[in-house]
């Protein structure tokens, strides 16, 4: 199996132009590692099983598992309302203020869309500040009726861990999970290892004109356990073995079998289109558990979670009935080699016919990107018409604020309206009247903005489409008196 997997890694590394791919596999009671490439292209440092990568949303099961340990400890119940542990907690929907449970939060059924630009725009905010900003975030669906992936709920989970566990969530994860498993190359905070671990630190890359180019490391501590952990494949195989052991690792009971069943059992149905606009016939149905996905893959239960963040992509999964699992780490953002390799490993473990998963993902993601580019191009073409705004650009300048999405200041810069938002400078491009487009993601997407005026015609605020599934988010303009 190792030789076949090595060949698959080399092919996918080339197909997706990934600097490095590292894999750890546990099968038949034994662990092996394979991979290829450079963790640091500029310094020609080869990746190893101990190389540390950001694992992004593969962090989420650490949050849900920690909450289950606290349930074993008698500190909470998964069906407790969040408000029982955080009395000041509020949601935008008054019903959900009193009824959102820990289970709801960990299974993506709160009724909220992503609202990711909240934490992206407030990278210096504390986890508590972000969790308590939920009261200002409108839902997009009726609660408990639809699975919709939501990061801030896992930030909320970290805050509950801190309240019920009596220590910061990262300290709890380290004391109750990482240390007992011997996961010495796993970190809940990047500052704990970046610049301190030398050749063990992988560097992040993104494709530029088809070539991997180094990018800034994603210091997203604001997202907490929803996506800020880093690890190695050697460590993550230990993590997989714990879950295959239903909470037991090398004779040590870390969490109960009862909680293992909760973690790995479906909680929310994922309907076609809930996650991606395409699907594969081999996946008969899928669900979200507590911090894990579970699906029927070619007739076999497959539990997994992946993660994507600037410069990195990961996949961690296991086949519980076959007592086999894996961890896949790469240092290229938004590449599909981890997803492809996850299914390739499943096929090998299950003894099923091989499928060219790399080509499948290249085709489907290619179609999706073309659709996105087409939509963005239409907007870019409309902006070339040069429609003038309804008033001088200077009238729009000033500070704007929203209690969840934070503040930004509009300024004039070389006859352009700019703001420091979303971790960088963005331009407000006029498209007529008081309406503007904001290009993001290297102009592959645009956000709508429409300024509001008062009775006397002065600018009082701006509605910005920060979340595609809700109405515009209303920012109030702050005058000199702070109003």
DSSP sequence for 328-344: EEESBTT-SHHHHHHHH
Longest dimension (CA), the chain: 75
Bridging pattern class, strands 293-297 and 283-288: antiparallel
Q: With respect to residue 30, please indicate whether it lies within any of the assigned structural domains.
A: yes
Query: What pLDDT is recorded for position 463?
Result: 98
Q: 301 and 438: one domain?
A: no
Distance of CA 206 to the CA centre of its chain: 17
Measure the N-to-C terminal CA separation of the chain; round to a whole number of Å.
65
If you ran DSSP here, which 8-state letter would residue 189 be given?
A: S
Q: Which alpha helices (H) appear in 351-482, and where do they start and end?
A: 357-383
Residues 6 or more apart from 257 whose CB is under 8 A from it? 246, 247
The answer to whether the CB of 64 falls within 8 A of the CB of 290 is yes
Q: With respect to residue 68, please indicate whether it lies within any of the assigned structural domains.
A: yes
Q: With respect to residue 59, please indicate whether it lies within any of the assigned structural domains.
A: yes
Residue carrying structure tokens 């076999």:
300
Q: 423 and 320: one domain?
A: no
Q: 34 and 180: one domain?
A: yes
Query: What pLDDT is recorded for position 480?
Result: 53
CATH number at residue 453: 2.40.128.50
Residue carrying structure tokens 């004109």:
209
CA distance 430 to 383: 8
Q: With respect to residue 373, please indicate whether it lies within any of the assigned structural domains.
A: no
Q: With respect to residue 371, please indicate whether it lies within any of the assigned structural domains.
A: no
Q: 410 and 345: one domain?
A: no
**Which segments in the chain show pLDDT lower than 50?**
482-483
Q: With respect to residue 385, please indicate whether it lies within any of the assigned structural domains.
A: no
If you ran DSSP here, which 8-state letter would residue 224 be given?
A: G
Q: 171 and 294: one domain?
A: yes
CATH number at residue 161: 3.40.710.10
Q: 345 and 411: one domain?
A: no
Q: 453 and 329: one domain?
A: no
- Closest C-alpha among 199, 116, 204 to residue 422: 116
Query: What pLDDT is recorded for position 462?
Result: 98
Q: 334 and 437: one domain?
A: no
Total domains, the chain: 2
Q: With respect to residue 210, please indicate whether it lies within any of the assigned structural domains.
A: yes
Where residue 225 falls (left for φ over 0; alpha for ψ -120 to 50; beta otherwise) is: alpha
- Closest C-alpha among 80, 73, 64, 112 to residue 265: 64
Which of 298, 324, 353 is a domain's end point? 353
Query: Which SS3 state, helix, strand or coil, does residue 384 take?
Result: coil
Which of 294, 329, 353 is a domain's end point? 353
Q: What is the pLDDT of residues 301-324, one digit of tens each?
A: 999 999 999 999 999 999 999 999
Q: 16 and 125: one domain?
A: yes
Q: 133 and 216: one domain?
A: yes
Q: With respect to residue 386, please indicate whether it lies within any of the assigned structural domains.
A: no
Q: What is the pLDDT of residues 239-271, one digit of tens each?
A: 999 999 999 999 999 999 999 999 999 999 999
**Predicted structure pTM score:** 0.97
Which of 353, 381, 401 is a domain's end point? 353
Residues 6 or more apart from 182 whose CB is under 8 A from it? 235, 238
CA distance 183 to 231: 8
Q: 228 and 178: one domain?
A: yes
Query: Which SS3 state, helix, strand or coil, does residue 463 take?
Result: strand
Q: 239 and 152: one domain?
A: yes
The answer to whether the CB of 436 falls within 8 A of the CB of 410 is no
Residues 6 or more apart from 463 whose CB is under 8 A from it? 449, 450, 451, 452, 471, 472, 473, 474, 475
Domain hosting residue 417, numbered range = 393-478
């Amino acid at each position: 199996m190792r030789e076949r997997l090595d060949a698959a890694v080399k092919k996918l590394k080339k197909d997706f132009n990934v600097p490095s791919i590292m894999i750890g596999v546990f099968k038949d009671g034994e662990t092996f590692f394979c991979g290829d490439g450079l963790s640091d292209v500029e310094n020609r440092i080869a990746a190893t099983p101990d190389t540390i990568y950001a694992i992004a949303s593969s962090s989420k099961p650490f949050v849900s598992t920690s909450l289950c340990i606290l349930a074993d400890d008698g500190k909470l119940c998964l069906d407790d309302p969040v408000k029982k542990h955080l009395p000041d907690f509020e949601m935008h929907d008054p019903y959900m203020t009193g009824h959102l449970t820990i289970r709801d939060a960990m299974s993506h059924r709160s009724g909220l869309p992503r609202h990711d630009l909240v934490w992206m725009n407030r990278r210096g905010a504390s986890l508590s500040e972000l969790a308590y900003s939920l009261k200002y975030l409108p839902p997009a669906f009726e609660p408990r009726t639809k699975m919709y992936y939501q990061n801030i709920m896992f930030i909320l989970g970290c805050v509950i861990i801190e309240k019920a566990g009596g220590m910061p969530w990262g300290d709890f994860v380290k004391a109750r999970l990482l240390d007992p498993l011997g996961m010495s190359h796993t970190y809940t905070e990047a500052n704990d290892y970046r610049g301190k671990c030398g050749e063990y630190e992988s560097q992040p890359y993104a494709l530029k004109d088809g070539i991997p180019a180094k990018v800034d490391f994603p210091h997203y501590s604001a997202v907490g356990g929803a996506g800020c952990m880093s690890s190695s494949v050697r460590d993550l195989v230990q993590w997989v073995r714990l879950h295959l052991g239903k909470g037991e690792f090398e004779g040590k009971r870390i969490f109960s079998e009862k909680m293992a069943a909760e973690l790995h059992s479906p909680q929310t149905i994922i309907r076609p289109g809930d996650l991606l606009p395409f699907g594969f016939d081999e996946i008969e149905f899928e669900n979200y558990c507590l911090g894990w996905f579970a699906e029927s893959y070619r007739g076999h239960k497959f539990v997994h979670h992946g993660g994507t963040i600037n410069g990195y992509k990961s996949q961690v999964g296991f086949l519980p009935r076959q007592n086999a699992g894996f961890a896949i780490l790469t240092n290229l953002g938004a590449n599909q080699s981890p997803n492809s390799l996850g299914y390739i490993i499943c096929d090998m473990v299950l003894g099923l016919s091989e499928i060219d998963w790399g080509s499948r993902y290249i085709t489907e993601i290619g179609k999706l990107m073309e659709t996105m580019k087409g939509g963005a191009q239409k907007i870019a073409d409309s902006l070339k018409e040069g429609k003038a705004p309804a008033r001088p650009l200077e009238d729009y300048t000033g500070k704007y604020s929203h209690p969840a999405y934070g503040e930004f200041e509009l300024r004039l810069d070389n006859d352009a309206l700019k703001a420091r938002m979303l971790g960088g400078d963005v331009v407000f491009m006029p498209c007529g009247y008081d309406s503007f487009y904001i290009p993001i993601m290297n102009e592959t997407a645009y956000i709508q903005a429409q300024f509001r005026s008062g009775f006397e015609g002065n600018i009082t605020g701006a509605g910005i489409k920060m979340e595609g599934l809700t109405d515009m988010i209303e920012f109030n303009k702050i005058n000199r008196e702070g109003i």
